[in-house]
Amino acid sequence: MSRSKIKTLFALCLSAVLVLSACGPTPEITPSNTATPFTPAQSTVTPSPTATVPATTTPPTSQPTSDAPTQVTHWAPLTLANVDLPALDGEITAKNARQVVPLAIWGTPRANIIALSADGQILAVGTDLGATLYDSQSYAQIGQILTPNPVHTIAYSPDNGLIALGQQQGVIDILSKDDLTLLNRLSFDQSDDSLKYDIKLSFSQDSNALILMTQSPNDIHLTIWDTETWFITINLTLEQGLVAYLSSELDMAGVIYRQPDLLLQSLSYTEESDLLDMPTSISPAFWNAFDTYTGEAVPAGDGTFILINNGVSVLSWQVLSDEYEYLLDNYPSSIPDPCTQAPSSCRNNNGAFSWTCASTQPIPPIELIALTPDDVMVLISRNDGLTEFRSTSDTSVLWTVDVTYTSVSFSPGSEFFFGLRPNGVIEKRATQDGALIDIFEQTPNELTDMAFSPDGTILAASFSDGWVRVYGTANGQLLGVLDGSAQSLAFSGDGDILAAGLADGTIRIFDLLAGSYTDLTPQHQAAVTALAFSLDGTQLVAGSADCTASLWQVEDQFRIRSVNPGGQSPFQINQVAQNRDGSWFVSAGNLPEAVIFNRADFTSKPLLDFGPFSDLALSSDNAYLASAGEQVWFNPLTSDQSLQSSTLLTPPDGDLSYQLTFSPDNTLLALGSEEALSLWSIPAENTLAKVIYPLAGNFMGRPVSLNFSPYGDLIGLGMDNGLILIFGIPATASE
């Protein structure tokens, strides 16, 4: 392709008649500490028909014998919510553990990606279970689509006829936009080393082709399907560069190399490509930043300029110009690793932290850039908690807001946009002044903890959007919400109190009978990440990311003492386990040692050295302590709270994240990993059953809470993506 053709091609502009959408007023939410116990959730909608892909696996139909090896159960997704659970066979024990099967998925999964339809009327939210479509004005649910793998990219055809759901594991589902029927399921090759790259998916401007770009460290793969026959018309491989982009408006793919050169590849004619020299005035340091950060390139719709984000700055280049237009570099040079951000109470005698940060991927100061459909403005979202809206011509800032987005989708006329925060919260804002139009509440965001009530009738789950949701255990129905951005939850023994440890360091006590709450003072300096009541409910232990634990007398809301379990090496506490009478508790966190603390003389001693820890579980008879981190250990305890021995339950190369819980009769230890629920027999010291989650291997959720119901007939596993998996034994299983 000649340079004159390239220049002509880039000069083409797209024009369309756009329908303007009116924006509603910003809602006001006024929290109250005198509200009824469970405020009905305003975001609940009647479920609409679900387009479900037929399952390829079914639950087992035969029951294993008692001496059979580990039972492995695979499962296709069942009900999502609001459907009665089957009659149960009763308590789950070591004798019947092999009959445990998944029963339901409760909750709504956290958003991975958001996208508005070509006409701006439909908001699609991609999740680990598939995609849910909402009316972009009323937020009413239009439909729900289940997919075999998590959805990470969404594309609408310009004629509004098709929706493509791109999945990171090499699958694309094609649906009719009108009735959400599955028209085709496409597959493509994607190696494990390419999973760190986002796949790019787009329809051609005439809607006659679907274009896919996948990347690996060495190659860029372009695959194009004809949307009538769904045959592959183009399959092309390009050499990997610093950054690549896909522009269906211009019928091109672009790759920027370090020389620096820009390769322009036609999507319709594989033999047509050209290599353009980029401005030599661009500093080599700009390109070197790509060695640290992935970065991105965003072309204007008419091809007149390209914005390049290297992670620390944004450069604008007028295509075919010998000089770049401007460089925005007034951003932080780096973002501190969150594991180095802790209160002064976490510093040791040397003034430093005793833990080593495990993060390996540096955080880019600039999270993303997004052009408005008319290319007049650019949204630059930063990882220091700020988003700015600038003119693409003179770089002037129209407005800034104190928020970071990981995905942004503008309305066709640029009147408003939806933005996805890192914790899953979706906002709708006006582009004119950045004013918040609404918080999209249908997606509950990141799940942080959950707890069964002592009578087993409700399950409370805390989420990062500032609400604790309360579900009925009969069918997963959402009964209501409680106010608070909780990181940890615990019910008192009588069920009258729900304690919530909040992200700001507050311990909130919900009096469920009175329908009110009170906040304990003084509060911690960082999030309260772990809570544990004594059996009689009179004492509460709270662990915090400020490296301290607080001991409370619940009835009079009196703090008995604040302690530092780590002593000379403070650690951020993420788990506590208290014995029945409250005379001692164990705390663990981001250091290798778990510490046992004596309430009589306020002394502590190291107990475990298998950390850092993701969970602790103490049996109800105080006889066993289980710990989880990169490995899971089972530890019998003596009467003086010492270890008798330790048994390793998982191999060194097992999943990195586990949650643990003992059955009420203390015959089973349940282990929830990133792929399966395992039931380990304490008497026999072997694994009896392993239940593979739905979407196993692709689920992408991390377990954050695992609990037996008080009567032992249900197991609830909370995943950080907002879903709760329920397990049990149907009554028919024993017939």
Secondary structure, 3-state, 178-189: CCCCEEEEEECC
User: How would residue 709 be classed by pLDDT, with cut points 50, 70 and 90?
Assistant: very high
Element (H, E) at 130: strand 130-135
pTM (2 decimals)? 0.84
Check pLDDT > 90 for residue 386.
yes
- What dihedral do alpha carbons 224, 230, 233, 236 form, nearest 10°? 40
Mean pLDDT over residues 290-315, rounded?
Answer: 95
pLDDT for 75 equals 43
Phi first, then psi: give them for residue 98, nearest 5 degrees: -70, -10
Element (H, E) at 286: helix 284-288
Which residue matches tokens 């098709």? 162
Tokens at residue 353, please? 């932290």
User: How would residue 90 be classed by pLDDT, with cut points 50, 70 and 90?
Assistant: very high
Asked if residues 644 and 625 have their Cβ atoms less than 8 Å apart, the reply is no
In the chain, % of residues over pLDDT 70: 85
Listed residue (344, 351, 416, 336) closest to 379, CA to CA: 416
Check pLDDT > 90 for residue 436.
yes
Tokens at residue 282, please? 């661009």
pLDDT for 652 equals 61
pLDDT for 650 equals 86
Element (H, E) at 276: strand 273-277
User: How would residue 21 be classed by pLDDT, with cut points 50, 70 and 90?
Assistant: very low
pLDDT for 5 equals 34
Cis peptide before 343 (omega within 30 of 0): no
Which residue matches tokens 């015959």? 667
Cα(442)–Cα(139) distance, rounded to whole angstroms?
A: 8
pLDDT for 402 equals 97
pLDDT for 601 equals 87
* Domains in the chain: ranges and CATH: 85-107+444-734 (2.130.10.10), 278-404 (2.40.10.480)
pLDDT (tens digit, 9 = 90+) per residue, 684-703? 999 999 998 865 445 568 89
pLDDT (tens digit, 9 = 90+) per residue, 510-536? 999 898 999 999 999 999 999 999 988
pLDDT for 149 equals 85
Check pLDDT > 90 for residue 8.
no
What region, left, alpha or beta, does residue 719 occupy, with left being phi > 0 and alpha being psi -120 to 50 degrees?
A: beta
What CA–CA distances, in Å, run from 309 to 244, 312, 331, 424, 545? 11, 7, 12, 23, 34
What CA–CA distances, in Å, run from 678 to 70, 649, 702? 9, 10, 15
Cα(701)–Cα(719) distance, rounded to whole angstroms?
A: 6
Q: Helix (H, G, I), strand (E, B), or coil: what is residue 267?
A: coil
- The overall average pLDDT reported for the chain is 85
| 136-140, 167-171, 359-363, range with the lowest pLDDT | 359-363
Class of residue 567 by CB neighbours under 10 A (exposed 0-12, middle 13-18, buried 19+): middle
Give the contacts of 240 (CB within 8 A, at least 6 positions apart): 215, 216, 217, 218, 219, 220, 255
Check pLDDT > 90 for residue 249.
yes
Ranges of beta strands (E only) in 609-658 are: 615-618, 624-628, 632-636, 647-648
Mean pLDDT over residues 132-137, rounded?
Answer: 94
User: How would residue 43 be classed by pLDDT, with cut points 50, 70 and 90?
Assistant: very low
Listed residue (365, 366, 368, 435) closest to 399, CA to CA: 435
